[in-house]
Amino acid sequence: MQQYFMDQHLALNQTIQLDKDIVFHLKNVLKSKPNTTIRLVNYEGEAFFGVVNQTFEKALLVKAIEQPIDCDVDITLIMALIKREKLELVIAKATELGVSKIILLETSRCVVSFSKKDIDKKLSRFKVIAKEAAEVSHRLSVPVITGPISINQLHEIQSNHKVVLYEKTDASINLPTVNKGNSISLIVGPEGGFTSEEIERIESLGFSQASLTHRILRAETAALMACALVGGCNG
């Protein structure tokens, strides 16, 4: 069943005017029929089943959706800038895995960078990707995406657990156990990894090293594996 996010209050038995993009998607992409049932969710987490009318321009909210929250653990993924296709993959899949926030990070070995004039455009693109992934995976919220920030700005991060994944860390040092209702911030480096100086600085800002495996993983693989290990055990 297709889900769409709506930027308005939703209530049972309310008739909603659907956005033009939704109408187009229902009629021309999904080839839906009138009276099709869809999921409508707003950014406060209110969710309802809606039945579209004959013109696909409106939907009647017929039943509230009851489902668990996206994840019992509040996961912040702090992702170093990597190539566009890989970064977009991480954003989409991390959204599906339940992360609540994605913060982009600039490091010395990043192979890409954002110019100041392009930041807003790129963030808008990433937010669309996250929104679409949240709709496909039937999430009740869309991750917040911010940045890029520098390593020195990591002192602003507040979480119960703060972890940096580092390929040179002993493989026996695993991710911490995160209890339901708690939060964790996970830092994943770029394709070239972190320098030893960067790791020292990150640790000085309250982050602890952890390893996912004895193998060397690509940046995008490490990010998604970490999110799956934390989120998969908690909803």
pLDDT tens-place string over residues 214-223: 888 899 999 9
Q: What's the angle, vertex CA 90, arms to CA 158 and CA 233, rounded to 5?
A: 60
**Using 50, 70 and 90 to split pLDDT, how confident is the model at 207?**
very high
- Tokens standing for residue 56: 């696909």
Does residue 144 register a pLDDT over 50? yes
What local confidence, expressed as pLDDT, does residue 155 receive? 92
If DSSP codes are grouped into helix, strand and coil, which group holds residue 6? strand
Does residue 131 register a pLDDT over 90? yes
**Using 50, 70 and 90 to split pLDDT, how confident is the model at 234?**
very low
What local confidence, expressed as pLDDT, does residue 231 receive? 76
Rounded CA separation 155/217 (Å): 26
Q: What is the DSSP code (8-state) at residue 100?
A: S
**Using 50, 70 and 90 to split pLDDT, how confident is the model at 181?**
confident
Pure H helices in 11-65: 20-24
Q: If you count them, how many residues does the chain have?
A: 235
What local confidence, expressed as pLDDT, does residue 206 receive? 93
What local confidence, expressed as pLDDT, does residue 213 receive? 85
Rounded CA separation 175/161 (Å): 10
Rounded CA separation 30/4 (Å): 13
Is the separation of the CB atoms in 91 and 188 below 8 Å?
no
Domain 74-232 of CATH type 2.70.70.10: no
Q: Would you say the CATH fold of 74-232 matches that of 3-64?
A: no
- Average pLDDT of every residue of the chain: 91
What local confidence, expressed as pLDDT, does residue 232 receive? 64
- Tokens standing for residue 124: 């808008």
Indicate if the alpha-carbon torsion angle 68, 73, 233, 101 is positive or negative. Answer: positive
> 116 vs 142, which has greater pLDDT?
142
Does residue 115 register a pLDDT over 60? yes
Write out pLDDT tens, residues 95-112.
999 999 999 999 998 988
Is the separation of the CB atoms in 188 and 222 below 8 Å?
yes
Does residue 235 register a pLDDT over 70? no
Q: How many Cβ atoms are within 10 Å of 216's Cβ, its own excluded?
A: 10
Domain 3-64 of CATH type 1.10.260.40: no
pTM: 0.89
**Using 50, 70 and 90 to split pLDDT, how confident is the model at 208?**
very high
Q: Give me the residue spans of the domains in the chain.
A: 3-64, 74-232
Does residue 204 register a pLDDT over 50? yes
Write out pLDDT tens, residues 16-35.
999 999 999 999 898 999 99
